[in-house]
Amino acid sequence: MLRDITDMKDETGKARSTRPTICYLTRGMLAPPAEGFHVFSKNVIEAVKNSGNARAQVLSLESPSAAREVSRDLTFLSARLNSRKLPSVFSTVDDFLSSASMASYVRSSDCDLVHVLNITKEPYAVVHNMLRVRKPLLIHFFHSPQVLGDDVFFLRNLAFRAGLYGRLHGNYVLTSNLAMLRFLVEKLGANHESVHYTQCPIDTDKFKPARNKDELREKYGIPCGSPVIVYVGSLQPARGLDVLLDAFKRITERFHNVLLLVCHPQRREERIFERMLYEQIQHLKLRRNVIIQGLVREVVDIYNIADVIVLPLIRPYWVDPPLVLLESLSSGATVVTTPVGAISEVVSDHENAVLVKAGDAEVLASAVAELLEKPDEARRIGQRAREMAVRRHSYEIVAKQLVRIYNSILDHQD
């Protein structure tokens, strides 16, 4: 395949005569994504493709029914599993068979570098090296080291400590979390030249302030005269929604017509938390003030409906910094959140968001009430949030960072 000639330079100043061809490995990109790492993976690909400074191949593991719907005009390539249907799609055997299928494709590809996004990374990294796929491997982590103790990351924790990333096999690591970068280099002894960092990309042209706030409220049946607090995200306890409800009870005592709009993906595994949510609403006698919206296709509308968006995380969640935080900031929303994980890397208190102590309902209620009482201050914070998002997280900015990283890695291969 012929490649276009460019005059792009990498971060060392060395001119490269060709655009690199990057093969992105993904999973489940044809179904509506419900998790942040799916959306961030899509954003990475879109940002680089839009930049024109690199060529993109996309290999995505999809269900056979979804794969049949792929148009030849799309760059998404479908990889079908070569195994029988197993009890769990996330089983170790299934992951290794899927990885072998992907590695076989990558080995015959003309790509220069493989960027692993939201597929299961540990089996693929092993298979990539076992099959001697002679392409540099850049493995992208969207979380922080604080979550490695969770059951879902047990295998990853072992892989980190065994030196699979950034220390053995010549693999490169990309993280969107500075704490993860320090963890790999300082705690696990990874080569600092093998560990890279970039911001999470956000489509700032899509997630932007809307001028028709009243029309949006009418569209979703929200009274225009009522203050609206919004929560978007999972119902997992780590997200702190129970703390928000306790705080909201205090807020209703000062603003009788205030509303809390809760938008969550309504996944099957969260039904137990959904029942707990309804029980707490009933116990606090908040049925008239809380609206459960469920999953909203155009979530940017919800960000623009809000007077205040509250993200009361108790501890870092699996995607860190949270997707909802970055999309809210890009939309120019006024956000109240907690300084856990990478959130404190993104926002500054009363500059582009308001930070409060995690788990403290009284402090949270006071901060939100103050913003409702001072709309000018809330607007100022929202404007600063939008400016920061465009300056640090726009596709154009992050794509430049990514292409510099790609070229730096490829220069080390020469």
Q: Decide if pLDDT at 16 tops 60.
A: no
The answer on 182 and 47 residing in a single domain is: yes
**E strands in 287-388:** 290-292, 308-311, 335-337, 354-355
Q: What is the pLDDT of residue 322?
A: 95
- Domain for residue 207, yes or no? no
Q: Distance (Å, rounded) from C-alpha 48 to C-alpha 174?
A: 15
Look up residue 363 and give its two tokens: 């402090």
The answer on 399 and 380 residing in a single domain is: no
Q: Distance (Å, rounded) from C-alpha 197 to C-alpha 222?
A: 41
Give residue for tokens 């017509």: 257
- Domain for residue 299, yes or no? yes
Question: What percent of the chain has a predicted confidence (pLDDT) above 70?
Answer: 88
Q: What is the pLDDT of residue 84?
A: 41
Q: What is the pLDDT of residue 363?
A: 98
CATH number at 43 reads 3.40.50.2000
Average pLDDT (345-357) is 96
Q: How does pLDDT run across 235-285, given as a tens digit for each residue?
A: 999 999 999 999 999 999 999 999 999 998 877 778 899 999 999 999 999
Q: What is the pLDDT of residue 364?
A: 98
Nearest partner of 43 among 140, 137, 122, judged by Cα = 140
Q: What is the pLDDT of residue 92?
A: 74
The answer on 265 and 159 residing in a single domain is: no
The answer on 272 and 352 residing in a single domain is: yes
The answer on 219 and 147 residing in a single domain is: no
Q: What is the pLDDT of residue 80?
A: 47
- Domain for residue 9, yes or no? no
DSSP state of 185: I
Q: What is the pLDDT of residue 414?
A: 66
Q: What is the pLDDT of residue 64?
A: 64
Look up residue 349 and give its two tokens: 């208190």
Q: Which helix (H) or strand (E) holds 261?
A: strand 259-263
Q: Distance (Å, rounded) from C-alpha 96 to C-alpha 126?
A: 9
Residue 198 and residue 283 in contact, taking contact as beta carbons nearer than 8 Å: no
Q: How does pLDDT run across 51-109, given as a tens digit for each residue?
A: 999 999 988 887 666 655 554 444 455 544 444 444 444 467 778 888 888 898 899 88
| Residue 127: φ, ψ to 5° | -65, -40
The answer on 300 and 326 residing in a single domain is: yes
- Domain for residue 170, yes or no? yes
- Domain for residue 4, yes or no? no
Residue 14 and residue 411 in contact, taking contact as beta carbons nearer than 8 Å: yes
The answer on 217 and 181 residing in a single domain is: no
The answer on 242 and 124 residing in a single domain is: no
- Domain for residue 47, yes or no? yes
| pLDDT confidence bin for 402, thresholds 50/70/90 | very high
DSSP state of 2: -
**E strands in 1-75:** 21-27, 55-61
Q: What is the mean pLDDT of the chain?
A: 87
Which amino acid type is present at position 296? V
Question: Number of structural domains, the chain?
Answer: 2
Give residue for tokens 């029988």: 84
Q: Distance (Å, rounded) from C-alpha 224 to C-alpha 244?
A: 22
DSSP assignment of 400-412: HHHHHHHHHHHHH
The answer on 164 and 196 residing in a single domain is: yes
DSSP state of 253: T
The answer on 404 and 364 residing in a single domain is: no
pTM: 0.90
Max mean pLDDT among 163-172, 182-191, 195-204 falls in 195-204
> Which of 144-148, 159-163, 165-169, 300-304 comes out lowest in average pLDDT?
165-169
For residue 291, list its beta bridge partners: 261
Max mean pLDDT among 11-15, 25-29, 215-219 falls in 215-219
Average pLDDT (326-334) is 98
Q: How does pLDDT run across 353-380, given as a tens digit for each residue?
A: 999 999 999 999 999 999 999 999 999 9
The answer on 360 and 246 residing in a single domain is: yes
HSE value, Cβ hemisphere, 13 Å, CA-based, for 143: 20
- Domain for residue 398, yes or no? yes
DSSP assignment of 82-151: -SPPPS-TT-HHHHHHHHHHHHHHHHHS--SEEEE-SS-HHHHHHHHHHTT--S-EEEEE-S-GGGTTSG
Q: How many CB atoms lie within 10 A of CB 89?
A: 14
- Domain for residue 1, yes or no? no
Q: How does pLDDT run across 100-133, given as a tens digit for each residue?
A: 888 988 998 899 999 999 988 999 999 998 898 9
Higher pLDDT, 224 or 349: 349
The answer on 222 and 185 residing in a single domain is: no
Domain residues for 361?
Answer: 213-393
